[in-house]
Amino acid sequence: MPLSNTVMSSKLHSWDVSAKEAIEIQKHLRAKLSLNSGPGVIRRVAGADVSFSKRTDDVWAGVVVFSYPGLLRMEERWVKGKTKFPYVPGLLSFREIPLLLQVFQNLDITPDLIFCDGQGIAHPRGLGIASHLGLLLDRPAIGCAKSRLVGTSSDVGEERGSFSPLRYEGKTVGGVLRTRTRVKPLFISPGNKITVEESLKMVLDCCPKYRMPEPTRQAHILVNRIRRMEE
């Protein structure tokens, strides 16, 4: 069953905003997140990613849905559009989410959990792209970032599954997780409707061979392949 039009059309805020207004929106939305309970039964997981043209304002957004725990590819969708919001550190969601919402609206299969290549609550204002998208879609979401945006952690062991809590402003906002032995760790943080512990488990479950979760990795491959074909 596809995501309901009620959820998709619900407007928590305008997208035609300045960077200053976007920051205030993030501060306001942070209080609406749910992070104390798990996502329930997970049967379908999705990865979302966006690719930007280096020469124009063209943008390609894609989503790939997999079964869980088997990780069998079930569906992929993508759209092409234009970027309207400038690049501002910490405001990634305002550049990427408008097009991603179009992709999710076109899905025939509703994912139970969404992986994003970016931050969840490990963000200066506690609302990275995974939190923002998860809130808009009313879905559990996890941020899987390749680099640290905020927070401190201790050293992480070299073995797959080793992790260190990521702390920011006195709170645990995620974990630094080694998804492959002796490969750089990822910075994992819950986005919405999932806990830190469950986020770490789901990421490991969806990283059977590679550093990134397979849904996110395949979404990245999809949008970059389409971009190269069309540019």
Q: Domain containing 180: what range?
A: 5-230
Q: CATH code at 34? A: 3.30.2170.10
Domains in the chain, number: 1
Per-state percent for the chain, helix, strand, coil, to nearest 5:
30, 25, 45
Cα 122 from Cα 128, distance rounded (Å): 7
pLDDT of amino acid 147? 96
pLDDT, tens only, 33-57: 999 877 889 999 999 999 999 889 9
Each residue's pLDDT tens digit, 130-155: 999 999 999 999 999 999 999 999 99
Residue 68: which of 46, 87, 86, 88 has the closest Cα? 46
Print burial letters for 174-191: b (CB count within 10 Å at least 16), e (below 16).
bbbbbbbeeeebbbbbbb
Q: Which has the closest alpha carbon to 115: 23, 204, 13?
A: 204
pLDDT confidence tier of residue 231, bands split at 50, 70 and 90 = confident
Name the residue among 191, 67, 60, 175 with its Cα closest to residue 120.
Answer: 191
Rounded Cα distance, 2 and 163, in Å: 35
- For residues 123 and 120, what is the distance between their CA atoms, to the nearest angstrom? 7
How far, CA to CA in Å, does 224 sit from each of 51, 99, 105, 111? 6, 15, 21, 22
Written as six digits, the tokens of 182 are 């002796």
Per cent of the chain over pLDDT 70 is 95
% residues pLDDT > 90 (the chain): 89
Write the single-letter amino acid at 208. Answer: P
pTM over 0.85: yes
Range name among 1-15, 47-61, 71-85 with the lowest pLDDT average: 1-15
